[in-house]
């Protein structure tokens, strides 16, 4: 089990940037796959980006705009979000799991943060 806490959400104008952080507590953090998901009102939870030792993967909707990274020494995963659009508005969650690959299925992740709200205005 790993415990996750997200931060960095807020209100930003179209074209602006935000950097989300996910701080983890728990041993062997570097062995976990960590992913970011988002959920807008009335919508299903959607995969955004994931990271593990084998690499990274992004949803098509954020390629070229978002970057996922991790600092294992600080037990932290980041999501740098640039060129934000109103359709990026959602609650963003980080999640951790021991799945072998970078899964895009929410049920593959067993530990979740509380979420942080991102609102992009125009």
Tell me how far apart the alpha carbons of residues 89 and 96 are, in angstroms, rounded to a whole number.
Answer: 22
> pLDDT per residue over 46-70, tens digit each?
999 999 877 999 999 999 999 999 9
Rounded to 5 degrees, φ, ψ at 31 are -85, -10
Tell me how far apart the alpha carbons of residues 90 and 95 are, in angstroms, rounded to a whole number.
Answer: 16
> pLDDT per residue over 31-41, tens digit each?
889 999 999 99
Maximum CA extent, the chain: 42
DSSP letter at 14 equals: T
Confidence of residue 30 (pLDDT cuts 50, 70, 90): confident
């Amino acid at each position: 089990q790993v415990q996750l806490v997200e931060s960095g959400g807020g209100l930003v104008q179209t074209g602006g940037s935000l950097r989300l952080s996910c701080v983890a507590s728990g041993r062997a953090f570097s062995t976990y796959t960590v992913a970011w998901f988002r959920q807008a009102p009335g919508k299903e939870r959607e995969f955004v980006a994931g990271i593990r030792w084998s690499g990274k993967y992004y949803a098509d909707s954020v390629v070229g705009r978002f970057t996922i990274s991790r600092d294992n020494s600080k037990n932290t995963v980041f999501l740098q979000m640039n060129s934000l659009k109103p359709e990026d508005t959602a609650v963003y969650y980080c999640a951790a799991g021991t799945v072998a690959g970078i899964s895009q299925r929410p049920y593959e992740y067993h530990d979740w943060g509380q979420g942080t709200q991102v609102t992009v205005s125009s």
